[in-house]
Structure formats: C-alpha cells, structure tokens
C-alpha cells in the first residue's frame, strides 16, 4: 500500500490471537483493502477489527460517558465538533472564540476514535479523559463493549443518506489510496455496497440497529441525521444538548450561543482553517481529507442515474417497514 494509507487500513500490529481468529472468519477481497473480514455481521479492515477486539476486551464505559456513533462518512467530524463545542461551552466560551480549541485542532484530535486508538495504542488509558468523556466509534450496536450497553452512558447516532455516504467514502478512498483504488470500477463498488460487502457494511444493519435501539430506549440512544443537522442545525444542537442533560438556558439562547456553535462548526468555517487545510493526524492522514463538499445530494456528480437507482432499490427493500426513510 502507498505511504499515505493510514495505519487503520494496514494489517500490521495484529496480535497472534487476532490472526488465529481471522482464519475462522469469512473474508473477501474488498475495495480499498486487500482483505476484509466479517466479524459479528460487519465487514472490517484487519486493523479496525483488531481495534474493535481490543475495545471490546478493555473498554469500561462510565454512566457519564458520551459516545458518538456513525457509519464512516456520515458526519463524524462534524458531530464531533458540534458536541465538543456544546459540552465545553462554559470552559471555552464561544464569544471569545478566537482561541477556541476547534480553531486550532482538528475535531478528530479532540474526540478520540475508540477502535482507532485501541488499534494504535492498545494500552491507552481512557480514564485520563476529562469528564464527561466524549468519544466516537463506528462499532455496530450489537458489538459495543458490554459496559457501553449496560451502563447509563449516552449514545448519539448520526446517519446519512446512503448515496451521499457511499460517494463520500468512494472519494475518500481514492484520495487516500489512489493506486489501490484506481482499477476498481464504481459499478463494482456499488454492487458490493448493495450486497453489504463493503467496509463497515451492511449499511442497513448498522443503521437499523441504532434506529431500533433509539426507539426502544430514547433516553439512552439519540438518532440524528446528517440531513437534519444540515437543514436545521440550531434545532438539532438544542435537541442533542437536551438529550445530554445540558440544554441551553433562556439566557444562553438570547446571547446567541446556539448560533455561535452553528457558525463555529460550519463546513465553511472548519474547512477553511489552517489546521484542517494543512494539518495531519498522528497516523499521517491529512486533515483536509475529512472536508470535501459537505452537501446534501452531492452524490449526483458521481453516481449515474442507474447506479443511484440500484442503491435506492436496495435501500427501499432493506428499510421497508422500519419507519426510517431517506429523502434524497
């Protein structure tokens, strides 16, 4: 793989136990990675699977924890920024936002990615994080560490319409690993996505598990969408704050705190910061890779009508009867 490929797409640092487990798992040659493995129903890169196993074995959730969950490319970076800003609005006031951490630090460095950290530093001490601990993951609900399910910790799940998510991942992969993805036609990738044999897939299992969990236990799991975040950002920030038990006071609203968070975390603001244009994460990934278009319906310039219809048909079938609809 080329040197720009982040650690979590490699297959180094795997324990012997994990290599043994791999031999019993279904495997496929995937887009972007030479091998993906299916574990607890989801297709993973070897490194992220190692991270998930470490996380399942070692992570102990606390009642006060907040875990942000997404499918890759569904709004992770944005959600991290929004929730970081709202939780820390007293510590880092928004009005004097000239020195706000989000202006000088990429959101991924402010909110640790559980399986990524557990892959890169298996001994990382999460107990050192300030309370409430704010973390993110792509782990399926079923596969979350037991304590994350049994404790009172809060989960905010953000879902994005599958065509935009797929297209975002497609471009991300091409940027990250141009040589490895060059000969892989998009038709084949759409087919794999619709069969569920795509990194992080099946898409529908991931989304539906959290969708049903949010309906069964609305005080534990909050379900938000990228599209609603985009069209009514302020209202969604308030909804997330209420859910997390740190709703805005009337005075804060009058002072315009919600609007300050909307502005600070907007695509335009974050994507133009030096740290997000020129920066790199410790694993070598360029921070600009997390900011592309930030639009609803941006899939139109990448997917042909027939590929879009193929995804639509598949999604319609998988989500039928769930009560969850994708509008674009």
CA–CA separation, 181 and 201 (whole Å): 18
CA torsion sign for 163, 181, 27, 1 is negative
The two tokens of residue 314 are 């598949």
How far is residue 296 CA from its own chain's centroid? 17
- Are 204 and 312 a contacting pair, CB within 8 Å? no
- Site mask for ligand PAP (CB under 6 A), range 239-278, x = bound: --------------------------xxx--x--------
Name, in order, each residue with C-beta under 8 angstroms of 273's C-beta and a sequence gap of 6 or more. Answer: 103, 104
To the nearest whole angstrom, how small is the minimum distance from the Cβ of residue 78 to ligand PAP? 4
Question: What is residue 217's three-state secondary structure?
Answer: coil
To the nearest whole angstrom, how small is the minimum distance from the Cβ of residue 179 to ligand PAP? 20
Q: Is 287 in the site for ligand PAP (CB under 6 A)?
A: no
To the nearest whole angstrom, how small is the minimum distance from the Cβ of residue 32 to ligand PAP? 12
Candidate list 220, 239, 288, 293; residue touching ligand PAP; CB under 6 A: 293
CA–CA separation, 147 and 144 (whole Å): 8
- Are 135 and 66 a contacting pair, CB within 8 Å? yes
For the chain, the C-alpha Rg in angstroms (whole number) is 19
- Are 9 and 1 a contacting pair, CB within 8 Å? yes
- Site mask for ligand PAP (CB under 6 A), range 78-117, x = bound: x---------------------------------------
Q: Is 290 in the site for ligand PAP (CB under 6 A)?
A: yes
User: Which of 152, 328 has the CB closer to ligand PAP?
Assistant: 328
**Which position among 44, 100, 108, 138 bears the catalytic label?**
138
* Positions 120 through 179 that interact with ligand PAP (CB under 6 A): 164, 168, 171
User: Which of 160, 197 has the CB closer to ligand PAP?
Assistant: 160
Active site residue 108: no
Q: Give me the phi and psi of 155, to 5 degrees please.
A: -120, 125
To the nearest whole angstrom, how small is the minimum distance from the Cβ of residue 279 to ligand PAP? 14
Where does this chain touch ligand PAP (CB under 6 A) — which range of 10-18, 72-80, 119-127, 173-181? 72-80
To the nearest whole angstrom, how small is the minimum distance from the Cβ of residue 198 to ligand PAP? 14
Phi-psi region of 294 (alpha: psi -120 to 50; beta: other; left: phi over 0): left
Number of residues that bind ligand PAP (CB under 6 A): 21
Q: Is 73 in the site for ligand PAP (CB under 6 A)?
A: yes
CA–CA separation, 206 and 260 (whole Å): 32
Q: Is 300 in the site for ligand PAP (CB under 6 A)?
A: no
Active site residues: 138
């Amino acid at each position: 793989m080329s040197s720009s490929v982040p650690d979590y797409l490699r297959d180094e640092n795997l324990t012997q136990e994990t290599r043994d487990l791999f031999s019993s798992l279904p495997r496929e040659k995937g887009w972007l990675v030479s091998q993906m493995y299916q574990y607890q129903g989801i297709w993973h890169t070897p490194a992220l699977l190692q991270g998930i196993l470490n996380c399942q074995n070692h992570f102990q959730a606390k009642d006060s924890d907040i875990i942000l969950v997404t499918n890759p490319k569904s709004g992770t970076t944005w959600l991290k920024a929004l929730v970081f800003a709202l939780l820390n609005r007293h510590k880092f006031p928004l009005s004097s936002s000239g020195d706000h951490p989000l202006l000088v630090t990429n959101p991924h460095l402010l909110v640790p990615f559980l399986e990524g950290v557990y892959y890169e530093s298996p001994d990382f001490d999460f107990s050192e994080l300030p309370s409430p601990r704010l973390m993110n993951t792509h782990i399926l609900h079923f596969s979350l560490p037991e304590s994350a399910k049994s404790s009172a910790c809060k989960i905010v799940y953000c879902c994005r319409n599958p065509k935009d998510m797929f297209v975002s991942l497609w471009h991300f992969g091409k940027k990250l690993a141009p040589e490895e993805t060059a000969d892989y036609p998009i038709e084949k990738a759409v087919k794999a996505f619709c069969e569920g044999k795509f990194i992080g897939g099946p898409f529908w299992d991931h989304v539906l598990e959290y969708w049903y969990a949010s309906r069964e236990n609305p005080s534990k799991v909050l379900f938000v969408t990228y599209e609603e975040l985009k069209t009514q950002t302020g209202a969604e920030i308030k909804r997330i704050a209420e859910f997390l038990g740190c709703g805005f006071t009337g005075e804060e609203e009058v002072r315009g705190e919600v609007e300050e968070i909307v502005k600070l975390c907007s695509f335009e603001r974050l994507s133009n910061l030096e740290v997000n244009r020129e920066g790199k994460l410790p694993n070598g990934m360029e921070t600009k890779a997390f900011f592309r278009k930030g639009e609803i319906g941006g899939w139109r310039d990448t997917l042909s009508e027939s590929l879009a219809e193929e995804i639509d048909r598949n999604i319609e079938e998988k989500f039928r009867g769930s009560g969850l609809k994708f509008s674009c």
